[in-house]
Amino acid sequence: MILEDNQSIIKPRNSRAARPKVVYQWTTQDVQKWFRRHCYDYYVLYGEKFLQHEIIGRALIRINENQLYRMGITNPDHSQEICREILKLRLKTYILEFRDLERNNLYD
């Protein structure tokens, strides 16, 4: 009886429920959170620019150095580092998409 009560407390692991929101659905606040975590030094300098330009997840993973320059991030070292982090995010997103396709047998 006690064992049954303890087992009811433990929730089954559902990998889909545990996954974070996909980048394509990120809001400006989600982008700010990512920017703060992955580019903190640049977030302090440029976080407001991402808000001013209303950068959402779908736009974030498509940003390149020219677009950062037009947003007002003119230091090439800063824009390269930000682009490097965006590239990591883009690659991570692609990997998750491929895994989903393989899991659903749609990638054959």
Q: Domain with 78 in it: what CATH number?
A: 1.10.150.50
Q: Which two tokens stand for residue 18?
A: 């545990």
- % of residues, the chain, pLDDT over 70: 81
**Is residue 34 within 8 Å of 89, Cβ to Cβ?**
yes
Domain span at residue 30 reads: 21-103
- 49: in domain: yes
| pLDDT tens digits, 16-30 | 556 778 999 999 999
- 5: in domain: no
| Span of 31-35, 88-92, 104-108 with lowest mean pLDDT | 104-108
Give the chain's domain count: 1
Nearest Cα residue to 46 out of 35, 56, 57: 35
- 70: in domain: yes
Q: Report phi then psi at 38, rounded to 5.
A: -100, -20
Q: Which spans in the chain are helix H?
A: 2-9, 15-18, 28-38, 40-52, 57-60, 65-71, 76-103
| Mean pLDDT on 34-57 | 97
User: Model pTM greater than 0.85?
Assistant: no
